[in-house]
Amino acid sequence: MPGSGKSRSKPRTRPGARRRGVSALIGTVVATLALLIATPGTATAAGAAEPTEPAFGSASLGSEIRERESVQRVTEDEIVTPLATVEGVDVSSHQGNVAWSTLWNAGNRFAYVKATEGTSYRNPYFAQQYNGSYNVGMIRGAYHFALPNNSSGAAQANYFVDNGGGWSRDGRTLPGVLDMEYNPYGATCYGLSQSAMVNWIRDFSNTYRARTGRDVVIYTSTSWWTTCTGNSSAFGSTNPLWVARYASSPGTLPAGWGFYTFWQYTSTGPTVGDHNVFNGAMDRLQALANG
């Protein structure tokens, strides 16, 4: 290339040739950079995009557990359960308008719907999902994604109850769920000590019971519970357990619970992804709804 940087004696350089060589080099560099920018997936280590924080409100039941714990793809036929179980699903805004009749025809008989997160997020699809599951015959309930560094347990429990997380003795409404899992927006345990986390959960649970007369179901994984509460046994005698483990068995349960009430066993099930089993026959699920 003329003027490419290998200097020779001046008589071999025509007037203006060096200037044109530099211009050509600059043009080549610019064109190469433009090509890199325009080509998907092309980036150097120095120019790689930084990971972005999830959008507020985007967290859902188990979304962070799936990101940080071992996941096996299993089907309903592959899981080890008691003889009597009931199949159900959980949904959030990720699923949008849900085909409830499809799920009902596939044998699902209960649904949990995300209602709230923190004290400022409400699921925009809540009405379609909560009422739609009820209208096809399912027993349904609502869940709250906890953000313990956002506000007190009491404040979030009140927000949850005020925005779809309440309970009524109609035989078709399950008690609300408190989703305790990894922080999607920061530190695993939300910056709380283990004792502070236990107190936060107790604050939420006590407030929910005062508002509804029911003990909130606690959703968690054994790993998160051990890390962030010190494997507290404080809630095993009062609050039903919903354990998350994507494998053929629920594994070791958190301290204090001798059995699970719900088990989320997959995030890759038909129609909506998250599928669960209730630990008991249909009449026991109805008893849980009746209180």
> For residue 58, is it within any domain?
no
Asked about 203 being catalytic, the answer comes back as no
> For residue 278, is it within any domain?
yes
pLDDT digits 0-9 by tens, 151-192: 999 999 999 999 999 999 999 999 999 999 999 999 999 999
Q: Let me know whether 108 and 235 are in one domain.
A: yes
Residue 49's alpha-carbon distances to 30, 36, 45, 46, 70, in angstroms, are: 20, 13, 9, 9, 26
Q: Let me know whether 12 and 113 are in one domain.
A: no
The string of DSSP codes covering 64-131 is HHHHHS------GGGS---SSEEEEEEE-GGG-S--HHHHHHTT--EEEEEEEETTTEE-TTHHHHHH
Q: Let me know whether 29 and 83 are in one domain.
A: no
Q: What CATH number is attached to the domain comprising 285? A: 3.20.20.80
pLDDT digits 0-9 by tens, 5-55: 444 333 333 334 333 343 443 444 344 434 334 333 333 333 334 445 567
The CB density around residue 71, as the number of other CB atoms within 10 Å, is 16
The CB density around residue 5, as the number of other CB atoms within 10 Å, is 8
Q: Let me know whether 143 and 71 are in one domain.
A: yes
Out of 87, 90, 117, 215, pick the active-site residue.
Answer: 90
- pTM of the predicted model as reported, rounded to 2 decimal places: 0.77
Q: Let me know whether 69 and 42 are in one domain.
A: no
> For residue 187, is it within any domain?
yes
The total number of residues written for the chain in this structure:
291
Out of 64, 69, 87, 181, pick the active-site residue.
Answer: 181
Q: Let me know whether 213 and 271 are in one domain.
A: yes
> For residue 235, is it within any domain?
yes
Q: Let me know whether 93 and 43 are in one domain.
A: no
Are 88 and 275 in contact by the 8 Å Cβ rule? The answer is yes
pLDDT digits 0-9 by tens, 83-93: 799 999 999 99
Provide the phi-psi class of 3: left if phi over 0, else alpha when psi is between -120 and 50, else beta.
Answer: left
Kindly state the tokens that stand for 99. Answer: 């085909």
Q: Let me know whether 25 and 75 are in one domain.
A: no
Asked about 274 being catalytic, the answer comes back as no
Provide the domain limits for residue 8. Answer: 1-50
Domain count, the chain: 2
Q: Let me know whether 168 and 42 are in one domain.
A: no
Q: Let me know whether 107 and 250 are in one domain.
A: yes
Helix, strand or coil, per DSSP, at residue 145: strand
Out of 64, 117, 179, 274, pick the active-site residue.
Answer: 179
Helix, strand or coil, per DSSP, at residue 290: helix
Q: Let me know whether 203 and 161 are in one domain.
A: yes
